[in-house]
């Protein structure tokens, strides 16, 4: 199997696994199960790496091996260039387990203080970070409540906070959005992108494909302890047989004209014409935002606040302040740009997430395919479009079809 590598030159890997095997044995030392079966992968610095797979595919075992909670049976596994059992390595790791295994008898503040002390953080830093993290995950008003009284989602939020208490260079998240509401899920995704922008390396394990797809640079898909697919989201998800053109709503005559242009140039024609639907997630978030604007009260955790100060901190050496600013302001995020640039360089371009009020037109050789979004959006899709369109391509298409007729203001990617 080929090693999955990121395009980051010769920088040492955060995690390097080669021929990694983990076999569980029973009391009599007989092989019970081979959870990880000779996998090879590498996680490079400043990468958001996805570990995908169904239940029992070996994702959690791989993570436990990386954390030193399990010992490998065979193969090579280095974390930050060291054996995973090395205690010093763990100072740079943040871990959110599948379930938030927190002490029920501690309050939220005490929980963060407990974990902060494990990293040897001084009292002032502990206090400051705890406050900022609790505010970030929306638990600042529940800091003195015992974890045993928390709902699953609230415990999950606290779990995320504890994973970040040491401002880790390498963050491992096992099903981070499990138990979270859509707002929390969106916030976690945003947080991951923020952290990556700061130069953090993140390993995201999930069986929620949308989570991984939305944020990960590269991913491996595990099944039965083996890697069955690997690569960037663009590599794995690109549908090279179709082209999607998104524009403002078109009348039937225009569609016919476009169809004629396509037929004239490719001989194929339009296969499907549809008005895109708003995503439920976008709809939900809008609704909640409006309710929040009216100051509707809620019990329990509030929507999380802004990213903790210490996590925003100084930008990574690789990027300057100006660049960070521009990346924060603009859409898409840095990694999206590279993806888009890659997509633009290849023809036809990768499909995009449909936007409100537009129309989706699918052309291609084969039957219509679902249109997975290969690009990553930081914000909710908006009616005004999200990326600078390739005007020449659209104009070319329209000119061919309408012969200088009405010029629609659509976008394409």
Partner 1 sequence: MNLVFEVWRRLREMSASPRGRIVFATALGLVALGLTLPLQLESMRYLELRGQVEDVLARANAEERTPEAVELVERGTVTIGSTPFGGPPVAAIAVQVFDEKGRVSAPRELASFILAPTLPEWAPEPVVGSSTTPILIIAVAVAVAAAAGLTGLGLAATITILATALVSAIAWQQGVITWVIAAAGAGATLLLFLLSTRLALFVLSGSNPVCSIAQGVVREAIRLRVAAFFMGATLVLIPAIVVWISPDQPLRYQVQTFLSRSTGLLYALVATMTLFLGCATTAFELRDRQAWQTLCKPVARWQFLVGKWLGLVVLAVTLLGVGSSSIAGFLSYLRTRPAKDLPDAVAVTEEVLVGRQGVLPEFKPLSREELIESIDREIDGDAILREDIDRGVRKELDVRRTLAQDKQKAHLASLRLMAPGQSREYLFHGLREARNSGRMISLRYKFHAGAEDAHEVHPILLRFPKNGSWTDRQFVAGQVYVFTVPPDLIEDDGTLRIEVANIAVDGQGFVEPKWSINFEPDDLEVLYPVIGFGENYLRALLVDLSKVAFLAMLSVAAASFLSFPIACLLAFSIFAIGSISPFLAISVDYYSVSKDAPVVIQWVQIAIKGVATAANWMLGGFGVVDATEMLVRGRVIGGDALLRVVGGIGIFWTALTLTIGYACFRRKEVAIYSGHG
Contacting residues toward partner 1, per CB under 8 A: 24, 32-33, 35, 55-58, 60-61, 64, 67-71, 87-88, 90-91, 93, 95, 97, 99, 101-103, 105-106, 110, 114-115, 117-123, 126, 144, 146, 162, 166
CB of 310 to partner 1, least distance (A): 16
Is residue 181 a contact partner of residue 153, using CB atoms and an 8 Å limit?
yes
CA distance 171 to 71: 20
Which lies closer to partner 1 via its Cβ, residue 39 or residue 238?
39
Which lies closer to partner 1 via its Cβ, residue 150 or residue 358?
150
Which lies closer to partner 1 via its Cβ, residue 63 or residue 195?
63
CB of 101 to partner 1, least distance (A): 4
CA distance 410 to 357: 10
CA distance 38 to 309: 41
C-alpha 131: how far from chain center: 26
Torsions phi, psi for 245 (to 5 deg): -110, 125
Residue 51: which of 239, 281, 228, 238 has the closest Cα? 228
CA distance 63 to 204: 10
Which lies closer to partner 1 via its Cβ, residue 88 or residue 329?
88
CB of 206 to partner 1, least distance (A): 16
Three-class secondary structure assignment of 313-330: CCCCCCCCHHHHHHHHHC
CB of 120 to partner 1, least distance (A): 6
CB of 3 to partner 1, least distance (A): 24
Beta bridge partners of 51: 205, 220
Distances (CA, A) of 395 to 82, 175, 263, 285: 55, 44, 17, 34
Which lies closer to partner 1 via its Cβ, residue 6 or residue 208?
208
Class of residue 390 by CB neighbours under 10 A (exposed 0-12, middle 13-18, buried 19+): middle
Which lies closer to partner 1 via its Cβ, residue 163 or residue 350?
163
Which lies closer to partner 1 via its Cβ, residue 59 or residue 378?
59
Which lies closer to partner 1 via its Cβ, residue 86 or residue 328?
86
Residue with tokens 């690789």: 318
Scanning 273-389, the segments in alpha helix (DSSP H) are: 280-293, 309-312, 321-329, 334-345
CA distance 286 to 209: 23
CB of 152 to partner 1, least distance (A): 15
Which lies closer to partner 1 via its Cβ, residue 24 or residue 266?
24
Which lies closer to partner 1 via its Cβ, residue 97 or residue 349?
97
CB of 95 to partner 1, least distance (A): 5
Scanning 137-266, the segments in alpha helix (DSSP H) are: 152-164, 182-197, 209-215, 233-237, 252-266
CB of 24 to partner 1, least distance (A): 4
CB of 358 to partner 1, least distance (A): 44
β-sheet with 15-25: strand ranges across: 31-43, 15-25, 74-79
CB of 46 to partner 1, least distance (A): 22
């Amino acid at each position: 199997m080929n090693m999955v590598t990121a395009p980051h030159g010769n920088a040492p890997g955060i995690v390097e696994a080669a021929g990694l095997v983990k076999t569980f044995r029973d009391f009599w030392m007989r092989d019970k199960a081979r959870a990880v079966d000779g996998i090879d992968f590498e996680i490079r610095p400043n990468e958001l790496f996805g570990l995908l797979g169904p239940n029992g595919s070996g994702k959690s075992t791989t993570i436990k091996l990386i954390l030193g909670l399990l010992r490998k049976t065979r193969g090579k596994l280095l974390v930050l260039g060291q054996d995973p059992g090395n205690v010093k390595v763990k100072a740079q790791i943040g871990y959110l387990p599948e379930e938030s295994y927190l002490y029920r008898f501690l309050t939220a503040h005490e929980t963060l203080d407990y974990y902060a002390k494990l990293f040897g953080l001084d009292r002032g830093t502990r206090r400051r970070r705890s406050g900022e993290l609790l505010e970030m995950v929306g638990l600042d008003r529940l800091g003195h409540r015992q974890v045993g009284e928390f709902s699953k989602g609230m415990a999950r939020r606290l779990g995320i906070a504890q994973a970040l208490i040491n401002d880790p260079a390498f963050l491992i998240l096992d099903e981070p959005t499990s138990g979270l509401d859509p707002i929390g899920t969106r916030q976690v995704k945003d947080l991951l992108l923020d952290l990556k922008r700061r130069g953090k390396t993140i390993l995201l394990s999930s069986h929620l494909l949308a989570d991984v797809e939305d944020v990960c640079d590269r991913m491996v898909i595990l099944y039965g302890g083996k890697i069955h697919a690997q690569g960037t989201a663009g590599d794995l998800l690109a549908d090279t047989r179709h082209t999607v053109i998104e524009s403002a709503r078109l009348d039937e005559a225009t569609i016919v004209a476009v169809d004629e242009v396509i037929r004239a140039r490719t001989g194929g024609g339009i296969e499907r014409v549809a008005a895109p639907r708003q995503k439920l997630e976008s709809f939900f978030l809008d609704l909640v935002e409006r309710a929040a604007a009216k100051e509707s009260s809620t019990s329990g955790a509030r929507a999380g606040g802004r990213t903790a100060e210490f996590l925003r901190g100084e930008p990574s050496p690789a990027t300057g302040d100006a660049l960070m600013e521009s990346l924060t302001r603009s859409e898409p995020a840095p990694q999206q740009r590279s993806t888009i640039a890659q997509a633009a360089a290849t023809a036809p371009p990768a499909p995009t997430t449909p936007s409100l009020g537009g129309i989706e037109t699918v052309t291609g050789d084969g039957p219509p395919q679902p249109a997975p979004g290969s690009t990553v959006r930081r914000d909710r899709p908006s009616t005004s479009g999200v990326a600078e369109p390739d005007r020449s391509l659209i104009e070319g298409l329209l000119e061919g079809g309408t012969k200088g007729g009405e010029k629609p203001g659509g976008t394409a990617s």
